[in-house]
Amino acid sequence: EDKVVQSPLSLVVHEGDTVTLNCSYEVTNFRSLLWYKQEKKAPTFLFMLTSSGIEKKSGRLSSILDKKELSSILNITATQTGDSAIYLCAVEVPYSGGGADGLTFGKGTHLIIQP
Amino acid sequence: EAQVTQNPRYLITVTGKKLTVTCSQNMNHEYMSWYRQDPGLGLRQIYYSMNVEVTDKGDVPEGYKVSRKEKRNFPLILESPSPNQTSLYFCASFGGDEKLFFGSGTQLSVL
């Protein structure tokens, strides 16, 4: 059974701190790993990672995939209160019946940034 | 603007009263999916559809039905809702580099 595990489940830090969120996976046929940010609404896309060791960056957020360790990290530097959200990791795998791929989600990391 | 439109945003109902949550996308995506999100359990897939008239069960399909008569619409039907179906529901369509485009969510409470 495909599995995606995120850690920590919850994290509280002060504004300005740097945080690292973890995502590990056990899947039979890896295609890509995606990160989403969810505030009080639908998840919004952050990054898609397919190749090991290549960092994706967007402002203060960055992410990297390690296919050998079957994991990914999401870094947020100089955190702001607006970074408070649930961060979801998902791994794309093909459905066993063929056709479109599916996403298996982790349970998310609830990040709270205190002023 | 590319979007997934989901209605209603909030719904409170009673046990056993049939309801439908609508979902529509304007991106001509073939693949659509329904998820429910519960605290501590993350996003779990209910049903998905790979094209018109093609639907299949996800991880938690019990108590739900779907239909895909047209490419753009993928309604979620609860024939006889129960309190354990109280949850936050998301419709999504699948395509491009962003993979999943999510609807804005439906917070359902079944009393």
Q: What is the pLDDT of residues A29-63, one digit of tens each?
A: 888 899 999 987 788 889 999 999 999 999 999 99
Smallest CA–CA distance from B42 into chain A, residue: A107
| The pLDDT of residue B59 | 85
Contact (CB<8Å) B90/A103: no
Contact (CB<8Å) B99/A92: yes
Cβ-in-10-Å burial (0-12, 13-18, 19+) of A102 comes to buried
Token output for B86: 């109280």
Q: How many CA atoms lie within 13 A of A111 on its CB side?
A: 31
Q: What residue type is assigned to position A92 of the chain? A: E
| The pLDDT of residue A29 | 85
| The pLDDT of residue A64 | 97
Token output for B17: 């009263």
Residue appearing with tokens 């919850």: A10
| The pLDDT of residue A97 | 46
pLDDT band of B98, cuts 50, 70, 90? low
Contact (CB<8Å) B90/A43: yes
Q: Is A96 on the interface with B (CB under 8 A)?
A: no
Q: Is B5 on the interface with A (CB under 8 A)?
A: no
Contacts with B9 from chain A: Cβ below 8 Å? none
Largest CA distance in chain A: 49
Among the listed residues A28, A14, A11, the one whose alpha carbon sits nearest the alpha carbon of residue A108 = A11
Look at phi and psi of residue A73 and say left if phi exceeds 0, alpha if psi is from -120 to 50, else beta.
beta
Report how far residue A98's alpha carbon sits from residue B77's, in angstroms, rounded to the nearest whole number: 26
| The pLDDT of residue A95 | 59
Q: Is A70 on the interface with B (CB under 8 A)?
A: no
Contact (CB<8Å) B44/A108: no
Please state, rounded to an integer, the average pLDDT across all residues of chain A. Answer: 90
SS3 label, residue B1 = coil
Contacts with B99 from chain A: Cβ below 8 Å? 32, 34, 45, 48, 92, 103
pLDDT in tens, B66-92: 999 999 999 999 999 999 999 999 999
Contact (CB<8Å) A88/B31: no
| The pLDDT of residue B94 | 81
Report how far residue A97's alpha carbon sits from residue B99's, in angstroms, rounded to the nearest whole number: 19
Smallest CA–CA distance from A9 into chain B, residue: B40
Is the N-terminal amide bond of B8 cis, ω within 30° of 0?
yes
Contact (CB<8Å) A100/B94: yes
Contacts with A94 from chain B: Cβ below 8 Å? none
Residue A101 has pLDDT above 80, yes or no: no
How many beta-carbon pairs under 8 angstroms link A with B? 53
